[in-house]
Amino acid sequence: MSPRGRAREGDRPPGRPPWVLVAPALVGLAFLVLPLVGLLVRAPWSTLGTRLVQGQVLEALRLSLLSATLATALCVLFGVPLAWVLARVPFPGARLVRALVTVPLVLPPVVGGVALLLVLGRRGLVGGWLDDAFGLTFPFTTAGVVLAETFVAMPFLVISVEGALRAADLRYEEAAATLGATRWTIFRRVTLPLVAPGVAAGAILCWARALGEFGATITFAGNFPGRTQTMPLAVYLALETDPQAAIVLSLVLLAVSVLVLAALRDRWVGTS
Amino acid sequence: MTAGAAGGAAEGLDARLVVRRGAFDLDLALTAAPGEVVALLGPNGAGKSTALRALAGLVATSGGHLRVDGADLRPLPSERRGIGMVFQDYLLFPHLSALDNVAFGPRCRGEGRRAARRRAAGWLERVGLAEHAASRPGALSGGQAQRVALARALAVEPRLLLLDEPLAALDAHTRLEIRAALRRHLAGFTGATVLVTHDPLDAMVLADRLVVVEDGRLVQQGTPAEVARRPRTDYVARLVGLNLYRGRAEAGTVLVGEGPETLDTVDSLDGEVFLAFAPSSVALYRTRPDGSPRNLWRARVTAVERQGDRVRVQLSGPPFPAVAEVTPAAVAELQLSEGSLIWAAVKATETHVYPA
Amino acid sequence: MRKRVPAAVAACLLPVAAAGCGDTGGSDASGGGGTLTVFAAASLTETFTALGKRFEASHPGVKVRFNFGASSTLAQQITQGAPADVFAAASPATMKTVADAGDAAGTPRVFTRNRLVIAVPKDDPGRVGAVRDLARPGLKVVLCAEQVPCGAAATKALDAAKVTVRPVSRERDVKAVLTKVRLGEADAGLVYRTDARAAAPQVKGVEFPESARAVNDYPIAEVAGAPEAALAGEFVALVLGPQGKAALTGAGFESP
């Protein structure tokens, strides 16, 4: 059982990786990295400091981090049970539901935002009732930002967790059942810990997607500094008049997200 | 609920398991008294694992009954059957320590965290793993994992203990020792135990009674000694290492199969019988021997394989297939190889005949 | 990529000058055909599409291709070398960035103007009758972001009206403001009169005199080094001419 006896990757004399794989891999990498290089090259480094301390940058950053985190929490809260139902409970139309879950992935986010307005807006199907009954409205509020991000990010969590659930060994759940565990106890004490890496990976994807969310957010929640203006919105508007500022904002967003993702990845997904 | 429906002393396990799934068809009556260990033995796909899973509530039954100590378990889901089960590769929860694995059952049955852990510690102590309480399953050896799994199953104080191939995941070295330990623990258990195995030796050592299942049906049951002495199917005969034939006995002669070959015996039975003899009682000759053996036939060698310090020689018919067991020296002397034609003989006194 | 090669610029400039001299506004022009590419502010979509049809009708074989979008985005594309023949912007400032980069041929000319109106949903839940109503607490007002022309114009107009508005959102463009009003999420928004008119009857436009202080000029220019310089000149002439004027006024624009 000790790792010493086991053959490690390094033990085998490595063959030369085939160029048919390496060449497209390098092209792919370059394609992903070069736009980043573009941002770095064009960044107004000399004025970076003064631009950063402008109030709106930090405000937008704070709002972005807060709303992306809350959206991720909502995604986990509702997405994990949804994934469980899709993976474990057979019901008619499951295929259709599974396809519907991925709708936010293919829907242009702006359309998603409009759709949210039609449902949760002040005159929306549900939103109208919420407004009448409780005086609750989402558009133009931070809560609206969180909702828009949740809508767009949730599929990432559901797909990731459903995959993990399908890959998990069902027999552990059987073992738990013979020990007297109810389905809820099984889910809580056996299933969830077993698929924790999948949940973590999904949550990370969710968070990253929510952080970069633009279209649904600006359409559903609008844009107001300190309340609904997240970093991507600030970047977009800065691009209108001051492309240099937009680059700075993008770099900040990028740096923060890379830092957070790298830290979380090591901790949760752990590649040991 | 319907205590005593089976009539009076309904102690232990009393079940008839009926499972129909497509072409698969299981219909098995099964009983086990408190303290008794019953081993389900059978070839792959015979339905013994399905039977065990049906007892555990992991497979739905389509008929029959299932009572343990008089309580009707059939309508209950797994988690309310109050059974203990040890799975083939133990299925210890990888994210919990050995202690928490054992405490899992008591916790599910409503015990507080501290009390459950205390109970679990007691069980780990009993299986001799007190010092491994904090270990994760990944850090345990196969034998240790099996003991944790046993402790986990027993910690819920089941009235019925189910063991699915409890020794199959172990290597040959540790197996002997673990089997002996398991036997001790089973001896101390007061409920009924049902054990599934495909290894006859495990079954012989661990079980008080063997139930042989083939194609979803019970084909033979009895104490290990009875089954070993008097196999009733080719599968069982192979398991216990005997040559088995079915035939008609008349005045000390058994007509094997459709005949015309006969084997002489010393048993005085008439009618449908089984005739068995051990491979070691088969003598092989290069040339036709003169002298006493009356059961003598010409046979072709189809396989020669070494087993420990003996060599098993497969003989094909006609008149009938058989297995002989000889010493390596004899193989050399007889120049046995696949395809060679030899003479085989069994003394009438070495055969054993019993009613079919 | 960023700058054209000077030789190419020179070569392209020649026909532009020629077209500029022979500017008769007639429909004779080069018989050949070709594709004219026009970059125009999003608010010009309907008007310019109609004018483009007319242009194609009078120039057999010629196709007019439009790229409508935010003026600032279009300006950026042009200075980055996008192959445009004509640029019509919604604000002089964006045109200036193009001209400053040396990408405008000749002096840009203001061809039309747009002014702001208050857009309200058709049932007007906020009862907005005048610009001062926009300051009422609780009224949900959306404006364009400061960074886009309609936002700057809104600020100017509201300042002129001496009304302090606390908007719930600063939208990215006029269409977004209009969407919020149309769906009833906002009680009022400031949009261009042309936009309000295009969104009728779901949206009502309320005029206010102070909007005269924030009138938006729309400049048009041929792009330096235009691949179809001759056609470009003729299209600009069409827009500036009586047919263009009529189409623009019909859509709610004002003559400069």
| Residue of chain A minimizing CA distance to B158 | A179
In the block, which residue shows the tokens 């039609």?
Answer: A118
In the block, which residue shows the tokens 């009895």?
Answer: B222
User: What pLDDT is attached to residue C85?
Assistant: 94
Given B166, B200, B234, the domain boundary residue is B234
User: What pLDDT is attached to residue A21?
Assistant: 92
- Domain assignment present for residue A185? The answer is yes
Cβ of A117 within 8 Å of Cβ of C147? The answer is no
| pLDDT tens digits, A204-263 | 989 999 999 999 999 999 999 889 999 999 988 888 777 788 888 888 888 888 888 887
User: What pLDDT is attached to residue A268?
Assistant: 61
Token reading at A25: 């891999």
Token reading at B275: 């005739």
Across the range A46-55, mean pLDDT stands at: 75
- Domain assignment present for residue B272? The answer is yes
Residues C88, C214: Cα–Cα separation, whole Å: 19
Q: Poorest-confidence range of A39-48, A128-137, B123-132?
A: A39-48
Number of Cβ pairs < 8 A linking chain A and chain B:
68
Per-residue pLDDT band for A116 (boundaries 50, 70, 90) equals very high
User: What pLDDT is attached to residue B10?
Assistant: 67
Cβ of A175 within 8 Å of Cβ of B93? The answer is yes
- Domain assignment present for residue A149? The answer is yes
- Domain assignment present for residue A170? The answer is yes
The residue type found at A266 is D
Instruction: Provide residues of B within 8 Å CB-CB of chain A.
Output: 56-58, 77-85, 87, 91, 93-96, 104-105, 108-109, 138-141, 152-153, 156, 162
- Domain assignment present for residue A193? The answer is yes
**A270 has a pLDDT exceeding 80:** no
Q: What is the CATH number of the domain that holds A80?
A: 1.10.3720.10
- Domain assignment present for residue A199? The answer is yes
**A269 has a pLDDT exceeding 80:** no
Q: Side-chain half-sphere of B25: how many Cα atoms within 13 Å?
A: 2
Residues A170, A161: Cα–Cα separation, whole Å: 15
Q: What is the CATH number of the domain that holds B341?
A: 2.40.50.100
Query: What CATH code is assigned to C116-214?
Result: 3.40.190.10
User: Are residues B286 and B158 part of one domain?
Assistant: no
**pLDDT greater at residue B146 or residue C33:** B146
Instruction: Give A9 to chain B, closest Cα distance, Å.
Output: 21
Cβ of A180 within 8 Å of Cβ of B57? The answer is no
Across the range C96-124, mean pLDDT stands at: 91
Per-residue pLDDT band for C14 (boundaries 50, 70, 90) equals very low
Exposure b/e, A93-109, CB count within 10 A at least 16 = b: eeeeeeeebeebeebeb
| pLDDT tens digits, C71-86 | 888 998 999 888 899 9
Chain Cα centroid distance, residue B91: 22
Binding residues of C: 43, 71, 174, 192
Whether the upstream peptide bond of residue B260 has omega within 30° of 0, thus cis, is yes
- Domain assignment present for residue A7? The answer is no
- The closest of A111, A186, A112, A198 to A152, measured between CA atoms, is A112
* Backbone angle region of C225, left / alpha / beta, with phi > 0 → left and psi within -120 to 50 → alpha: left
User: What pLDDT is attached to residue C33?
Assistant: 77
Helix A55-88 and helix A196-212: axis angle, to 10°?
A: 140
Q: Residue C126: its chain A contacts at CB < 8 A?
A: none
Neighbours of B35 (CB within 10 A): 16
User: Are residues B267 and B181 part of one domain?
Assistant: no
Q: Poorest-confidence range of A65-79, B158-172, C23-37, C153-167?
A: C23-37
- Domain assignment present for residue A49? The answer is no
- Domain assignment present for residue B342? The answer is yes
Instruction: Give A225 to chain C, closest Cα distance, Å.
Output: 8
Given B213, B234, B255, the domain boundary residue is B234
- Domain assignment present for residue B87? The answer is yes
User: Are residues B222 and B307 part of one domain?
Assistant: no
| C-alpha torsion A83→A87→A91→A97, nearest 10 | 50
**A190 has a pLDDT exceeding 90:** yes
Beta-bridged to residue B352, according to DSSP, are B276
Q: Where are the strands (E) in chain C, listed by range?
A: 34-41, 62-69, 86-88, 104-114, 116-121, 141-144, 169-171, 188-192, 203-206, 216-223
Domain count, chain B: 2
Instruction: Give A128 to chain C, closest Cα distance, Å.
Output: 10
> Residues B268, B252: contact at Cβ < 8 Å?
yes
Instruction: Give B356 to chain A, closest Cα distance, Å.
Output: 40
Residues B253, B270: Cα–Cα separation, whole Å: 9
Q: Poorest-confidence range of C2-6, C11-15, C84-88, C175-179?
A: C11-15
The percentage of chain C sitting over the pLDDT mark of 70, rounded to a whole number, equals 88
Instruction: Give B256 to chain A, closest Cα distance, Å.
Output: 47
pTM: 0.78
Neighbours of C33 (CB within 10 A): 12
User: What pLDDT is attached to residue A16?
Assistant: 83
In the block, which residue shows the tokens 């070993």?
Answer: B228
Whether the upstream peptide bond of residue A232 has omega within 30° of 0, thus cis, is no
Domain enclosing residue B311, as ranges: 241-355
User: Are residues B173 and B132 part of one domain?
Assistant: yes
User: What pLDDT is attached to residue C6?
Assistant: 41
Q: Residue C185: its chain A contacts at CB < 8 A?
A: 117, 121-123, 139-140
Cβ of A174 within 8 Å of Cβ of B78? The answer is yes
Chains with 3 or more CB pairs under 8 A to chain B = A
User: Are residues B152 and B230 part of one domain?
Assistant: yes
User: Are residues B61 and B201 part of one domain?
Assistant: yes
User: Are residues B144 and B35 part of one domain?
Assistant: yes
Could you report the predicted ipTM of this complex, rounded to two decimals? 0.81
The residue among A59, A219, A240 with the most chain C CBs within 10 A of its CB, best to mutate, is: A240
Instruction: Give B253 to chain A, closest Cα distance, Å.
Output: 54
Please, do chains B and C touch (3+ CB pairs < 8 Å)?
no
| pLDDT tens digits, A155-169 | 999 999 999 999 999
Please, do chains B and A touch (3+ CB pairs < 8 Å)?
yes
- Domain assignment present for residue A24? The answer is no
Given B203, B234, B265, the domain boundary residue is B234
- Domain assignment present for residue B3? The answer is no
- Domain assignment present for residue B128? The answer is yes
Nearest Cβ partner for A175 among B77, B87, B139: B87
User: What pLDDT is attached to residue B292?
Assistant: 58
User: What pLDDT is attached to residue B331?
Assistant: 79
Domain enclosing residue A228, as ranges: 56-269
Token reading at A229: 């203006």
> Residues A192, A199: contact at Cβ < 8 Å?
yes
Query: What CATH code is assigned to C6-26+34-113+217-250?
Result: 3.40.190.10
Question: What backbone torsions phi and psi does residue B233 show, to the nearest 5 degrees?
Answer: -135, 160
Domain count, chain A: 1
Contact partners, residue A163, CB within 8 Å, separation at least 6: A198
**C10 has a pLDDT exceeding 70:** no
> Residues A56, A235: contact at Cβ < 8 Å?
no
> Residues C103, C244: contact at Cβ < 8 Å?
no
Token reading at B324: 């002989």
The residues of chain C that CATH labels 3.40.190.10 are 6-26+34-113+217-250, 116-214
| Residue of chain B minimizing CA distance to A2 | B139
> Residues C139, C113: contact at Cβ < 8 Å?
no
Angle, CA C218 vertex, CA C212 and CA C222 arms, to 5°: 165
- Domain assignment present for residue B132? The answer is yes
**A44 has a pLDDT exceeding 90:** no
> Residues B211, B221: contact at Cβ < 8 Å?
yes
Token reading at C194: 């042309």
Residues B122, B111: Cα–Cα separation, whole Å: 15
User: Are residues B288 and B162 part of one domain?
Assistant: no
- Going from the first residue of chain B to its last (356 residues), give the mean pLDDT of each consecutive group of 10, the final group possibly shorter: 44 91 88 93 88 93 91 92 92 95 94 94 92 94 92 93 89 83 90 90 89 91 86 84 80 69 72 81 80 74 82 78 82 78 80 80
> Residues B220, B236: contact at Cβ < 8 Å?
yes
| pLDDT tens digits, B100-121 | 999 999 999 889 999 999 999 9
Per-residue pLDDT band for C3 (boundaries 50, 70, 90) equals very low
Cβ of A178 within 8 Å of Cβ of B94? The answer is no
In the block, which residue shows the tokens 């009556």?
Answer: B29
User: Are residues B222 and B139 part of one domain?
Assistant: yes
| pLDDT tens digits, C184-234 | 999 999 999 988 988 888 999 999 998 888 888 999 999 998 888 889 999
The residue among B93, B97, B148 with the most chain A CBs within 10 A of its CB, best to mutate, is: B93
Q: How far apart are the first and last CA of chain A?
A: 15
Cβ of A189 within 8 Å of Cβ of B84? The answer is no
